[in-house]
Amino acid sequence: MPFATGRVFMFALLSLFSFFILMSLQLAKKTRVNVRPIPALDSLHECVGRAVELGRPVHWTTGYGSAMHGGGGLLSPALISGLAIFTHIARLCAQMGAELYATFCVAELMPPAMQAVREIYSVEGKEELFKSQNFIYFSPSQFAYATGVISFMETQQVATNILCGQLQDECILLAETGATIGAVQVGGGGQYAYLMITCQYLLIGEEFYTAAAYLSQDQAQLGSIRGQDFGKITVIFLFLGLSILLMLGIDLTGVFKI
């Protein structure tokens, strides 16, 4: 049989979870889905407003996630999610008149980011506010990028710092600098330990990956979040069921190796 050995159970789980998500996506077009509030995402409006009041810019950065450096590049879920949060912030900046800067370690993210923001500014009728020189690529090297961003943040005195992307060890440098200059910070997708002690708002785990769906408030996308919850319930029952069976002396962990 040409099916890969050792991956049958994995395929079964993947199919089941995908079914839950797709089914919920379709059902949500007919029924209303309520998702609990996520404070970090709800605060983005307030954060951009603060930047407008202070007359200082909003800053977003990708983190060290290049495809060439282990982050998966544009294929990285953290970067896709970070990009989705960035486009939402760009919309808020266009509506409220805040200056927006984006710094990159990931070169392949620049074209879609610039294109998306250009479209948003055009739709909002603020084409004149779009500046391509506000999209700054520093280096694919982790710490060259980090020092560039630190220097940029201190020069520009950013009011709002959005650290949502594929952040790794450099996030302590970026977040601590933001905290020192008094920026309000929203963090996600990186080293939670560092982000927690430096950011006012934090997106943990699933909150970060469902950010785009939550921010769009599109019922179909919110439905997919409900599908993920069905998946989580399945996982919980699997954990509990197998643990209880194991305690009773019935070892079914061989199922995972099918």
Minimum distance between the CB of residue 43 and other proteins, rounded to whole angstroms? 19
Q: What is the DSSP string of 176-197?
A: HHHHHTT-EEEEESS-HHHHHH
HSE on the CB side for 23, CA within 13 Å? 11
Minimum distance between the CB of residue 113 and other proteins, rounded to whole angstroms? 8
Q: What is the DSSP pairing of strand 160-164 with strand 184-188?
A: parallel
Judged by CB under 8 A, the chain residues 64 through 123 that form the site for other proteins are: 67-75, 77, 80-81, 83-84, 86-88, 90-91, 104, 107-108, 110-120, 122-123
Identity (one letter) of the amino acid at 143?
Answer: F
Minimum distance between the CB of residue 85 and other proteins, rounded to whole angstroms? 9
Query: With contact defined as beta carbons under 8 Å apart, do 26 and 223 qualify?
Result: yes
Decide: is 16 part of the binding site for other proteins (CB under 8 A).
no
Judged by CB under 8 A, the chain residues 175 through 194 that form the site for other proteins are: 175-177, 179-180, 191, 193-194
Minimum distance between the CB of residue 23 and other proteins, rounded to whole angstroms? 11
- Please identify which residue in 3, 32, 36, 37 interacts with other proteins, judged by CB under 8 A: 3
In which element (H, E) is residue 36 found? none
Distance CA 64, CA 67 (A): 10
Decide: is 169 part of the binding site for other proteins (CB under 8 A).
yes
HSE on the CB side for 87, CA within 13 Å? 24
In the complex with other proteins, which residue's Cβ is closer, 52 or 192?
Answer: 192
Decide: is 197 part of the binding site for other proteins (CB under 8 A).
yes
Which position has the token pair 């201190």? 154
Judged by CB under 8 A, the chain residues 129 through 148 that form the site for other proteins are: 133, 135-144, 146-147
Decide: is 227 part of the binding site for other proteins (CB under 8 A).
yes
